[in-house]
């Protein structure tokens, strides 16, 4: 199978821009796509800002930053994504949205193009079934923030062939990442463990066991977590936390994965965390303040 030289990234948000960032630094040519040129440009601006921060910290040098930024090209249409060797979808955590993207991409794909999803919870087998190449479809779950986090979960669907798996592992490792194999079960490994913990912390708040500050302080100082679970939920995005809990609840049919009603209420209110300015903390001032 041909060597991966060009990578298409669909979605220029937090995850997509982070993936494009590390892929470009890894020496690959990147095509970045989103629903509008404004979103693509905003994603590239975030990449430039984050790379400049890495330069300031001595992680990369200025020459590496300039070379990487030159490798990233905006792709306003899916045609440019279809011409790449590997296309990675990094859209919102919604199965129908992801399937729709792959269906729209299909007419433009080269026969040899590999497909990957950055989904953090949705079945790779089901997503692959929406394409014409389930054997060349795989899950590449990068962790957030992508430039800082070392792990990439590799998830094979039922039809994923061995060459696709091997190329995916080689690709992820070429970016300086460490890979972990996960079976195609709801939420895989990291979020199967992590997101129910966040949901339980929200139940602890909902039931009045502790305040936002008390819960996060207890877990940081009592369990040596670098970030409290409610703060982490805000960082991930409470809509994403709810989506993952719904996948777990529906996929495993176990009441222990029932999303907390308070989580549902926050998402319905549009309080999605840091990205909207309010979640379990209010981020609109100089210092985050608990909202409960």
Q: What are the binding residues for NAD(+)?
A: 11-16, 34, 93, 98, 120, 144, 275
Q: Which residue of the set 21, 50, 123, 153 is catalytic?
A: 153
The region, left, alpha or beta by phi > 0 then psi within -120 to 50, assigned to residue 36 is: beta
* Residue 59, SS3 per DSSP: coil
Rg (CA), the chain: 19
153 tagged catalytic: yes
Q: Say whether 120 is catalytic.
A: yes
Tokens 């379990």 locate to 280
The reply to whether 94 belongs to the active site is no
Residue 199: active-site member? no
| Structure-block tokens of residue 262 | 């308070």
- Catalytic hit among 191, 199, 231, 249: 191
Q: How many CB atoms lie within 10 A of CB 201?
A: 26
DSSP code for 135:
G
Residues 83 and 110: beta-carbon distance below 8 Å: yes
Binding residues: 11-16, 34, 93, 98, 120, 144, 275
Strand 151-156 versus strand 281-282 pairing type = unpaired
8 A C-beta contact, residue 267 and residue 258: no
- From the number of C-beta atoms within 10 Å of its C-beta (0-12, 13-18, 19+), residue 159 rates as middle
Burial class (CB in 10 A: 0-12, 13-18, 19+), 168: buried
Q: Which of 120, 121, 123, 199 is catalytic?
A: 120
Catalytic residues: 120, 141, 153, 191
């Amino acid at each position: 199978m041909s060597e991966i030289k060009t990578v298409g990234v669909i979605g220029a948000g937090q995850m997509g821009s982070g993936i494009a960032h590390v892929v470009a630094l890894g020496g690959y040519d990147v095509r970045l796509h989103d629903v509008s040129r404004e979103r693509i440009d905003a994603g590239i601006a975030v990449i430039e800002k984050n790379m400049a921060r890495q330069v300031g910290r001595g992680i990369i040098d200025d020459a590496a930053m300039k070379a990487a930024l030159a490798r990233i090209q905006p792709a306003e249409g899916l045609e440019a994504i279809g011409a790449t060797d590997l296309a990675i979808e990094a859209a919102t955590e919604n199965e129908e949205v992801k399937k729709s993207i792959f269906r729209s991409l299909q007419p433009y794909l080269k026969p040899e193009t590999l497909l990957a999803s950055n989904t953090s919870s949705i079945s790779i087998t089901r997503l692959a079934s929406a394409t014409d190449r389930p054997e060349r479809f795989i899950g590449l779950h990068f962790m957030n923030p992508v430039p800082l986090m070392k792990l990439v979960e590799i998830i094979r669907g039922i039809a994923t062939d061995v060459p696709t798996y091997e190329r995916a592992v080689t690709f992820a490792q070429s970016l300086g990442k460490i890979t972990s194999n996960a079976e195609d079960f709801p939420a895989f490994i990291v979020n199967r463990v992590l997101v129910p913990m966040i949901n339980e912390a929200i139940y602890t708040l909902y039931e009045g066991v502790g305040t936002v500050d008390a819960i996060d302080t207890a877990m940081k100082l009592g369990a040596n977590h670098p970030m409290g679970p409610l703060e982490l939920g805000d960082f991930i995005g409470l809509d994403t936390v709810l989506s993952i809990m719904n996948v777990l609840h529906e996929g495993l049919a176990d009441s222990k994965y029932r999303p907390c009603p308070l989580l549902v209420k926050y998402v319905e209110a549009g309080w999605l965390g840091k990205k909207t300015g309010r979640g379990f903390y209010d981020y609109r001032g100089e210092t985050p303040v608990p909202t409960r």
